[in-house]
Structure 1
Amino acid sequence: MGTLFIVATPIGNLGDMTFRAVETLRNVALIAAEDTRHSSILLREFGITTHMISYHQHNMASRESRILRELETGDVALISDAGTPGIADPGVEIVARAFDLGHRVVPIPGASAITAAVSASGLVPGPFLFVGFLPRSGEDRRVAIGKAAAAGVPFVVYEAPTRLVATLDELWGSTGNRRVMVARELTKMHEELRTGTVDELRSHFRTTPPRGEFVIVVGAADAHGTGSGDVEAVVRQLLADGARPSRAAREASAITGLSGSDAYEIVRRIAREAADEPGLTDS
């Protein structure tokens, strides 16, 4: 039975391609690539002539049988456009099927935007949460950020330039003014790493239009989870978005893990401060 190799490829700098990755891609019977046109450039650079087929989120079901047939008699390598397959990229399903059928699965480690950003952030001394790409907009996006903020550890987000400022605004609303690192175009010619508070970086990118691909590393509030400042930031953002007090309390509780009664007390206090009134109702 054949072996399925999970091969990491460069995320921007061809110098990060490993000798082992090149050797593996030359020797397998088939390469399954996220985008064959993109990967053909990489293969030509290293003189790799192995036959290649596409394997991406839109054809995984139809390609799975082809890959599994090939594994009956030979080895297959899985690659993504950049970085490590199966991490915010296609690969999880075919790896699981290969294991189910008794095939050997071998990782060929290498470049990864996650580890590159985390290692250079100065914000991750221990465990962290990888969020990946956030929902594009709406309630799901806000809840996803809030849950990550409530995890009590640093977390990592991938983001497109068109949504970077909006994401930093959401982070400010859900996490307060934590320390963050924003990495742009990692390992590429225009690589840039910026550190500071959420507010500092959202101010910067409002005046400097974001370009390229971004990784955001958000530091933890403290060692025990979401701090009171984070909860207040969540509540203030919900109220600013027009949520009524009872809804703001429910959502703040769901996002931060705070009890409903405690969340409502914070809502009442913040709303009283804002309105300079002795009380607050849902009317």
Structure 2
Amino acid sequence: MVHEGQVSDTLIPEQSLDPGLYIVATPIGNLGDITLRAIDVLKRCEGVACEDTRVTGKLLKHLGISKPLWRYDDHSEHRDRTRLVDSMRTRAVVLVSDAGTPLVSDPGYRLVNDCRAEGIPVTVVPGACAAIAGLSLSGLPNDRFLFAGFLPGKDKARREFLEELAPVDTTLVFHETSPRLLKSLETIGEVLPHREVAVARELTKLHEECRRGLTHGLVAYYEAHPPKGEIVLLVGPPVPIEASEADADILLAEALQTLKPSQAASRVAKETGLDRKQLYARAMELREG
């Protein structure tokens, strides 16, 4: 019974959303991190494009929402994406990933580009993001940071990738899987020595943890305690260290094992604040000698 001055939800249908694409962030672990706006958009949309219908189905069931689910990932064919874009001319379609913010190391880039090319409105509903959560938890400098996605799985490619990022004077943020963590930490220790590293694991979940230190200590810990779950791996910016000529020779000799003299000189100059030209000359002497 509805009393005077009250409004019954059953008497007023939910206002439909305007047609278009709605990019909706979902929880990365704790289901309580879903936003009120995300719930509202999921309730009022006409369908949800998702990576895994089973994962998204569980979330919607938890929220008490029932919607058509369409699988969409980076392996979807062009014609599937075209059909999805065409449907948005008359329907409101939500895009979600399995966890967190879509398009951040997740599918959606091509879909958003196609929508913009076709004049389909695109709306973002922000929320949880593992990379940002890890950065906040780590305590590493965050006035500037570079998110670089997943590190390559193969040793050579991972090393080259990190060497490319070595000159970047800011905190580096990566996604990583637990089976590859030890190899990644070892390579970081070789390519980016003396830089502080943080491992943020199981974010927002019951066993959330963030361990921080130099790579050799983290490697020893995770050898004894094999990690589980999804990981955000962070590498602090280079910190200049005071070094004598003898110290510089040790650092140069270490760097020359994998780098050219010019690259070794640049790295040691970054780490110590010593003159790069003098370090290059010394690197040439060490290599020849």
Aligned residues: 263
Q: 1:161 to 1:265 in 2, by over 3 A?
A: farther
Give the C-alpha shift of residue 218 in structure 1: 0.9
Q: Provide, for residues 214-261 of structure 1, a one-character-per-residue CA deviation record: whole Å limited to 9, x for no partner.
A: 1111110149xxxxx99986972662xxx5xxx644765899999x98
Root mean square deviation, CA, Å: 3.0
Q: Which runs of 5+ in 2 are unaligned?
A: 1-17, 241-246, 271-275
Give the counterpart letter for 2:30 in structure 1: N
Q: Which residue of 2 aligns with 1:149?
A: 166
Of 223, 236, 255, the match for 1:219? 236
Give the C-alpha shift of residue 74 in structure 1: 1.1
Of 210, 223, 229, the match for 2:227? 210
Q: 1:134 to 1:233 in 2, by over 3 A?
A: farther
Q: Which residue of 1 aligns with 2:244?
A: none
Q: 1:136 to 1:96 in 2, by over 3 A?
A: same
C-alpha separation in 1, matches of 2:148 and 2:269: 18
Give the counterpart letter for 1:2 in structure 2: P
C-alpha separation in 2, matches of 1:106 and 1:131: 24
Q: How does 1:36-185 map to 2 (within 5 A)?
A: 36-185=53-202
Identity %: 35
Give the counterpart letter for 1:61 in structure 2: H
Give the counterpart letter for 1:77 in structure 2: V
Q: 1:28 to 1:202 in 2, by over 3 A?
A: same
Give the C-alpha shift of residue 141 in structure 1: 1.2
Q: Provide, for residues 155-177 of structure 1, a one-character-per-residue CA deviation record: whole Å limited to 9, x for no partner.
A: 10111111111111111111112
Q: State the secondary structure of the residue aligned to 2:138.
A: coil
Q: Which residue of 2 aligns with 1:236?
A: 254
Q: Which residue of 2 aligns with 1:190?
A: 207
Of 10, 18, 21, the match for 1:4? 21
Alpha carbons 1:146, 1:255 under 8 Å: kept: no
C-alpha separation in 1, matches of 2:50 and 2:248: 42
Q: State the secondary structure of the residue aligned to 1:168.
A: helix
Bigger Cα displacement from structure 2, 56-65 vs 261-270: 261-270
Give the counterpart letter for 1:51 in structure 2: P
**Normalized against structure 1, the TM-score is what?**
0.82
Of 31, 42, 50, the match for 1:33? 50
C-alpha separation in 1, matches of 2:63 and 2:249: 51
**Normalized against structure 2, the TM-score is what?**
0.81
Q: 1:261 to 1:111 in 2, by over 3 A?
A: same
Q: 1:132 to 1:202 in 2, by over 3 A?
A: same
Q: Which runs of 5+ in 1 are unaligned?
A: 224-228, 272-278
Alpha carbons 1:236, 1:270 under 8 Å: kept: no
Give the counterpart letter for 2:154 in structure 1: S
Alpha carbons 1:10, 1:83 under 8 Å: kept: yes
Q: 1:234 to 1:28 in 2, by over 3 A?
A: farther
Q: 1:17 to 1:267 in 2, by over 3 A?
A: same
Larger Rg: 2
C-alpha separation in 1, matches of 2:101 and 2:68: 20
Give the counterpart letter for 1:124 in structure 2: P
C-alpha separation in 2, matches of 1:128 and 1:236: 27
Q: Which residue of 1 aligns with 2:12?
A: none
